[in-house]
Amino acid sequence: MALTEEQTIELRKQLSEQIKNLPEDQKKQAQEQIDSMTPEALESMLKQQQERQQIFRQIVEGKIPSKKIAENEDAIAILDIKPISKGHTLIIPKIAVKKAKDISQNTFNLAKEVVKQAHEKLDTESAEILTQFNFGEIIINVIPIYDKSLNLDSPRTEPSKEELEEISQKMKLEKKVEIIEKIEKEKETIKLNRKIP
């Protein structure tokens, strides 16, 4: 679907607004690039940006592979592929949340379960539970602490697929299955003396 002329003008205006705080030389270069873009190029850029903003929805729907370690009715827990520390986990609400106050208690409960699992399986000292607005929605970061304090600005690592798989297997929370035993009542048989008529 091609952008109308009005949409193209509005998009150029929005892009110009986003670059207004750049240094003058960068701002001039960026503005020239915006002005030279065809409507098709603008539309393509807009589509890419929208797809990028929906990355967590695609993970929740299983369209993007992830190392899922836990799930409940409201959220999933996946390993961060560029973790701050070993076992760094993202808790993603199943329904996109735009404000931290709208995160369900069930979602926070999943984060607490992940902290407990990290402590038991990875021998952590503690963990940071931090909310973050990323790609247009709020997620929760569970960052295991081993020997020093960490936050979202701490350096990230790039573990191999094998390392992520190993951590995933250690951290995976088993679903609790309630086993309900059926107890059949014994049928009582009443024995009466035979009466002779």
What's the N-to-C CA distance of the chain in angstroms? 96
Contact 164, 79 (CB under 8 A): yes
Average pLDDT, the chain: 85
41 pLDDT more than 90:
no
Residue ranges of E strands in the chain: 68-71, 75-79, 89-93, 126-134, 137-145
Which residues are within 8 A (CB) of 73 and not within 5 positions of it... i.e. 6 or more apart? 94, 106
63 pLDDT more than 60:
yes
Geometric angle at alpha carbon 183, from 180 and 188, rounded to 5°? 170
Residue ranges of E strands in 84-195: 89-93, 126-134, 137-145
What residue ranges define each of the domains in the chain, with the CATH number in brackets?
A: 5-53 (no CATH), 66-171 (3.30.428.10)
The pTM of the whole model exceeds 0.85: no
- Rg of the chain (C-alpha set): 27
Higher-scoring residue by pLDDT: 42, 187: 42
Report residue 143's pLDDT band, with 50, 70 and 90 as the boundaries: very high
